[in-house]
Structure 1
Amino acid sequence: MDIMKKILVPVDFSEHSEYALHVAAIIAKQHNAGIVLLHMIGMSDSVLANSEIAEEAEAKYYLNLAKDKIKQYTEKEYLKGISLEAIIQNYKDFEEVNNVAEEKNCDLVVMGSHGTSGISELFVGSNTEKVVRTSNVPVIVIKKPHQDFTIKKMVMATDFANKSVSAYIKADTFAKLFNASLEVVYVNTTGANFIGYDIVDKRLKAFKKELGKDVNINFYSSPSVERGILKYCQEKNADLLVIPTHGRKGLAHFVVGSLAENVSNHAQMPVMTIKM
C-alpha cells in the first residue's frame, strides 16, 4: 500500500464516534483519502418483514432518523473537501464491518471506544472488540478528542507469535505513510511468568530470520504485560500503539484476560490493531 485511498468510520452518533470521525478526517486530509461512513441500525428482521402499519411505520421512522443524523455528520465543518460516502445498513453483528471495509476497498478503519481502564477493557466484551477481532483491515481505536493527530512515533508490542512478522510489515507500511518512526517492544513479566533469556532470544532470532532483516527490539520488564506496554509507550511519548491480533481466535494473549487490579496506566492514546 503506497497510498491510503479510503477510511471506513463506523458511527453510532455518540461523542466517541465523532472523536473517531474527526481523527479520520485529519488522516484523510493528510493523505488525500476518502471517508466511508457506516451506520448500523440493527432492527430485527421481523420488524422489517412485517407489513403491519405500526411495524412499517417504526422501520421507516428509524431509517429516516438515521438518514437525518448521518446527513448532519456529513455536514461537519472538518469534513469539507473530503470525498464522502454514507452507508446505512440493517446490520446487528459488528463482524459485518469487515465486509463493508473489503467491499469498499478501505485501507483503514477508525472507530471510537468508550473503554477507559486499560488495554483489556478497551476491547474485551465491546463492539470495538468484535470489529478488531474480525477486521482484515487495520483498525485505529480512538478514545478521546484530538484537535491534532500527528503520528511521529509508533510502538508495536509483540510476543513474537506466529505471523507477527506480517503484522510488523503492515505496521512498518503505516509508519512510512505517516512519516513516523516504529519501535518494537517485548514485555517480559517479572515473577512466576518470567521467560528465560534463552527462550526469548530464540524467538527473537526466528522473528528476525523470517523478517529477513535486523530490527531493534526493546525489552521491558513489568509485573504485567498490559502495564508494561502502556508504561513503555508513556515513557517513550508514543503517539500510536500497535497491537497484532489473532483474528477470530481472539486477540493476542496480552490483550485478552483480566488486568491486574488497579492498573495505574490508562490507554488513552490511540491504538492500532493489525490482524496477523
Structure 2
Amino acid sequence: MKKILVPVDFSKHSEYALEVAASIAKKQSAEIVAIHMMGLSEAVLTRDESKEIFEAMYYMKLAEKRFIDFLDKDYLEGIKVTDAVHNYKIFSELNDLARDFGADLIVMGSHGSSGLKEVFVGSNTEKVVRTSEIPVLVIKHRAENFNPQLGIFACDFLESSIGPYKRAQKLFDTLGLNMQMLYVNLAGDFRSTREIEKRILNFLKSAGETHPIETLNAVIQYNEYSVEAGIFGYSQVSNSDLIALPTQGRQGLAHFFSGSIGEDVVNHSDLPVMTFKV
C-alpha cells in the first residue's frame, strides 16, 4: 500500500478517519493525501464580477489555512502528508481524484448514529461508497491505535461478488487481517444447508480458491430475518473488529441493505465498515 486518501471537512469525524489512516500508513510505510472538497457553485467560479472571484479565493485560502492546524497532530509525525483543496460539481469526483493520486484506500469519517442505512444513504459518504473503484473504509467513532485483527466479509456468494471478494482478500492480507466469511440465510428466502454449500463451493471454485472445500468449511452460515441483522448479530458474537462487504455500484449500500434494520443492533455497532464495489 502506497497512498491513503482521506476526505476532510475539518470535523471531529474526519479527524477520526485521519487518525486511523495514520495508524495504517505507519504500518504500511504509506503516504496520506488529505483532500478538502469545496462545493463552490460554477457561477461563483466563472463570473467576471470581482466580488464573486474574491469570494472563491477567500474560501480556497481559508481551507488551506485550516489544514495547517488540522494536520498539526502528533500521530502524523514521520508520515508524508499531502493536503489539497478541490472544488467539485458532484462529490463522486472524489473517485477520479483518488485514481489521479494513485490511492489504494479511502478512509473517511461518518457522523451517522441511527444505523448503517442512515449513515450512508443521502450523504457524501454514500456517494463515495457508490462510486469508488478502490476500497473505502468508513470510521464512525475514534479508533485510537487502530489495529483490527478479525474482519467479517459478508457475501451473497453470487458471481458478481467474486471481484470484491478477491480485492478484500488482498487488502485483508496487506493489513494483516483474518477474514471470516459470512452468509446470512434469510427466513423469507430460506435455503437448505446443502443448497447454500453448493452455491458457496461454486463461488470459491470460480474465484480460483486452491482449497475450496477447506474454505467452504470455514464459512459461517447465520440465520436471521434480514441481512443487516445477520451481519450485526454475528459481528457481536464473534467479537469482530471490522465489517467488509460488496456494494452494488450506483445503488450502493441501500441495495445491499434491503429490508428493515434492527435499530438497536445497528445503533450500538461501533465497528468500522469497509466496502468493495462490484
Determine if the alignment matches structure 1 residue 91 to structure 2 residue 91: no
- 1:19–1:145 CA contact under 8 A, matched in 2: yes
- 2:38–2:85 CA contact under 8 A, matched in 1: yes
Determine if the alignment matches structure 1 residue 110 to structure 2 residue 121: no
Determine if the alignment matches structure 1 residue 141 to structure 2 residue 138: yes
- In 1, the alpha carbon distance for the partners of 2:98 and 2:185 equals 35
Q: Post-superposition shift, 1:200?
A: 2.5
Q: Post-superposition shift, 1:249?
A: 4.1
Q: Post-superposition shift, 1:196?
A: 4.1
Determine if the alignment matches structure 1 residue 175 to structure 2 residue 176: no
Report the aligned-residue RMSD. Answer: 1.7
Q: Secondary structure of the equivalent of 1:250?
A: helix
Structure 2: tracts of 5 or more residues without a match: none
Q: Post-superposition shift, 1:227?
A: 1.0
- In 1, the alpha carbon distance for the partners of 2:262 and 2:233 equals 16
Moved more, 51-60 or 147-156: 51-60
Q: Which runs of 4+ in 1 moved over 6 A?
A: none
- In 2, the alpha carbon distance for the partners of 1:168 and 1:82 equals 30
Deviations 1:179-227 (CA, angstroms, capped at 9, x unpaired): 221110001122x332344542332122122023222211001121101
- In 2, the alpha carbon distance for the partners of 1:9 and 1:262 equals 29
Structure 1: tracts of 5 or more residues without a match: none
Q: Secondary structure of the equivalent of 2:159?
A: coil
Number of aligned residue pairs = 271
Q: Post-superposition shift, 1:259?
A: 2.9
- 2:155–2:161 CA contact under 8 A, matched in 1: yes
- 1:41–1:92 CA contact under 8 A, matched in 2: no
TM-score between both structures, scaled by the size of structure 2: 0.92
Name the residue aligned to 1:204: 200
Which aligned pairs between 1:22-101 and structure 2 lie closer than 5 A?
A: 22-101=19-98
Q: Secondary structure of the equivalent of 1:265?
A: helix
- In 1, the alpha carbon distance for the partners of 2:182 and 2:242 equals 13
Q: Secondary structure of the equivalent of 2:198?
A: helix
Q: Which amino acid aligns with 2:201?
A: K
Q: Which amino acid aligns with 2:275?
A: T
Q: Secondary structure of the equivalent of 2:91?
A: coil
Greater per-residue helix proportion:
2
Seen in structure 2, the aligned counterparts of structure 1 residues 158 and 252 have a Cα distance that, compared at 3 Å, is farther
- 2:155–2:246 CA contact under 8 A, matched in 1: yes
Determine if the alignment matches structure 1 residue 12 to structure 2 residue 6: no
- 2:129–2:252 CA contact under 8 A, matched in 1: no
- In 2, the alpha carbon distance for the partners of 1:25 and 1:143 equals 16
Q: Secondary structure of the equivalent of 1:85?
A: strand
Seen in structure 2, the aligned counterparts of structure 1 residues 138 and 157 have a Cα distance that, compared at 3 Å, is same
- 1:120–1:259 CA contact under 8 A, matched in 2: no
Q: Which amino acid aligns with 1:210?
A: S
Q: Secondary structure of the equivalent of 1:65?
A: helix
Deviations 1:67-95 (CA, angstroms, capped at 9, x unpaired): 11122222222111111111111114121
Q: Which amino acid aligns with 2:220?
A: N
What's the % identity of the aligned pairs?
45
Name the residue aligned to 1:248: 250
Seen in structure 2, the aligned counterparts of structure 1 residues 130 and 244 have a Cα distance that, compared at 3 Å, is same
Q: Which amino acid aligns with 1:248?
A: R
Name the residue aligned to 2:265: 264
TM-score between both structures, scaled by the size of structure 1: 0.92
Q: Which amino acid aligns with 2:246?
A: P
Q: Secondary structure of the equivalent of 1:37?
A: strand
Moved more, 89-98 or 133-142: 89-98
- In 1, the alpha carbon distance for the partners of 2:195 and 2:123 equals 34
